[in-house]
Amino acid sequence: MTDFTELTAVQLVEGYRKGEFSPEEVTRAALRRAEEVQPSVNAFVRLDIDEALTQASESAERWRRGEPAGLVDGVPVTVKDILLMRGGPTLKGSRTVRAEGRWDEDAPSVARLREHGAVFLGKTTTPEFGWKGVTDSPQAGITRNPYDVSRTSGGSSGGAAAAVALGAGPLALGTDGGGSVRIPAAFCGIFALKPTYGRVPLYPASAFGTLAHVGPMTRDAADAALTLDVISGPDARDWSGLGPAAGSFTDVLDDGVRGLRIAYSPSLGGQVAVRPAVAAAVRHAVEGLASLGAYVEETDPDFADPVEAFHTLWFSGAARVTQPLGPHQRELLDPGLREICALGARYSALDYLAAVDVRMELGRRMGHFHETYDLLVTPTLPLTAFEAGAEVPRGSGHHRWTGWTPFTYPFNMTQQPAASVPVGVDEAGLPVGLQIVAARHRDDLVLRAAHALYEAGVAGVAPPPYPTAVG
């Protein structure tokens, strides 16, 4: 018997094409899995069971006629509850957002998936307004790690990562303003891509401005390429979106890495203390890239940690998103969010522009770096998943989530494409992620390198054990 929850989107579409199974069977299996794991991991804020089954039935009829609507017709998808999806509220993890309203508009990425026949299972959890690198909120509670429910799923797209890892839909939409698809992907053992800024249109615009990207979270790189082929089309509502992609991302997957120039930076020039198990898993995967014909050099990009400039941009954005709230509503906010909003409100326009200057210089440096190297490879994170319900690991000395994510947020500042690839586990069986970064507009190179690792058996980790509720 085929376990439909173990199949990738590419495999599902091929099965539909051959008539081996139907979107209705697959959707029922995905919904059943979502309901089974929800009490343990809390990945969803809403499951749209009746609507999903209706969409699956319509998809099955299209496949019976041999007239699929698009590239992902009948594939179950989840959507992070930051992105609009018509038919229900988008609460953004906040008790300050009212559920009442028309809610009759899709975000651009959701609209493209709907046009291609995707089946929407529901909305996944996020911290309030996506503000931090773990997923817990006053509105939805704590989202837990599929490999160990006492630990965090990461964030801010933590619900999406947990859902994909546990088989509750092979495709998920997440958002990433400082690592928010890559962090939970690394913690939950899945693949995630932050595309070049503007490659996937975003509407409404994020309060975090041009730091915020929309990206696919999937089982592997092939599914991410398929999803990017669907969601990367321009949308008139996004003034900063890019024009059409030059071609299909799926079509170039098999071009491999032979001849690519890859810079391997294990610690950003000694700036980051990386746990030994993480470092070892990443180094092994880098050796795999070399064995596949890439030219690998251990070297570091030339930049200092831009965290203070990132904080200026990030905290200002948080202050802006909560600016309309009155005193009573502010009391409903996550205390950590309330704290950074107060900091952000104190910055001047000159402070903000100084941070933009840092960002522009970082972009210049990385542009120059990629004249020599096609790809940069680092750990996604210096550690594996820590205790759930905390913004920072206990005893770490960090105050904010940016203290333990130094490999991710710099590449939101530069708007480069970056992916997290699962490449092993630590001594506790928790997944380790490797990050692949390319120059702006070279999403194809990121996907090619990641796919080569999957094809060589270097990427991918065993699925998580069936989670049980926290005692």
| pLDDT tens string 200-243 | 999 999 989 999 999 999 999 999 999 999 999 899 999 999 99
How high is the pLDDT of residue 467? 77
Chain length of the chain: 471
**d(Cα 11, Cα 383) in Å, to the nearest integer?**
32
Q: What is the pLDDT of residue 422?
A: 99
CB proximity list for 263: less than 8 A, separation 6 or greater: 297, 298, 299, 300, 301, 369, 372, 373, 375, 376, 377
pLDDT in tens, 442-464: 999 999 999 999 999 999 999 99
Distance CA 268, CA 284 (A): 18
The encoded tokens of residue 132 equal 């931090």
Indicate the residue type of 166. L
Tokens of 346: 């104190």
What is the reported pTM?
0.98
Residues 120, 114: contact at Cβ < 8 Å?
yes
**pLDDT tens digit sequence for 289-322:** 999 999 999 999 999 999 999 999 999 999 999 9
Which helix (H) or strand (E) segment is 85 a member of? none
Neighbours of 346 (CB within 10 A): 10
- Mean pLDDT over 5-29 rounds to 98
Q: Are 42 and 141 in contact (CB under 8 A)?
A: yes
**Neighbouring-strand partners of residue 264:** 298, 377
pLDDT tops 90 at residue 287? yes
End-to-end CA distance of the chain: 33
Contact 75, 9 (CB under 8 A): yes
In this model, does residue 407 exceed pLDDT 90? yes
- Residue with token string 């840092």: 358
CA distances in angstroms from 405 to 312, 354, 361, listed in the order given: 16, 22, 20
pLDDT of amino acid 370: 98
Under DSSP, the state recorded for 206 is: P
* DSSP-derived secondary structure letter, 239: T
Catalytic choice (22, 59, 80, 132): 80
Class of residue 327 by CB neighbours under 10 A (exposed 0-12, middle 13-18, buried 19+)? exposed
- Please determine, for residue 172, whether its predicted confidence score (pLDDT) is greater than 70: yes
Whether 64 shows a pLDDT value over 90: the answer reads yes
Among residues 425, 432, 405, which one has the least CA distance to residue 271? 405
Q: What is the mean pLDDT of residues 242-265?
A: 97
- The Cα–Cα gap between 224 and 160 comes to 14
Which pLDDT score is estimated for 469? 66
**Inter-residue contact 421 to 459 (CB < 8 Å):** yes
CB burial of residue 32 (10 Å; 0-12, 13-18, 19+)? middle
Residue 470 pLDDT: 66
Q: Which of 259, 356, 355, 264 is nearest to 301 (CA)?
A: 264
Q: Catalytic residue at 157?
A: no
Mean pLDDT of 52-69: 98
Q: What is the pLDDT of residues 69-116, one digit of tens each?
A: 999 999 999 999 999 999 999 999 999 999 998 999 999 999 999 999
**Annotated catalytic residue: which of 109, 156, 206, 316?**
156
Residue 466's pLDDT band, with cuts at 50, 70 and 90, is confident
What distance in Å separates the CA atoms of residue 187 and residue 431, rounded to the nearest whole number?
6
- Tell me how far apart the alpha carbons of residues 260 and 437 are, in angstroms, rounded to a whole number: 13
Which of helix, strand or coil describes residue 361?
A: helix
420 is catalytic: no
* Domains along the sequence of the chain with CATH: 4-455 (3.90.1300.10)
- Marked catalytic residue, from 94, 180, 206, 265: 180
Q: How does the average pLDDT of the chain come out, rounded?
A: 97
pLDDT-derived band at 2, boundaries 50, 70, 90: confident
| Largest distance between two CA atoms of the chain | 63
pLDDT at 360 over 60: yes
80 given a catalytic annotation:
yes
Distance from the Cα of residue 83 to its chain's centroid: 13
Mean pLDDT to the nearest integer, 276-292? 98
pLDDT at residue 471 above 70?
Answer: no
Alpha carbon distance 449, 296 (integer Å): 12
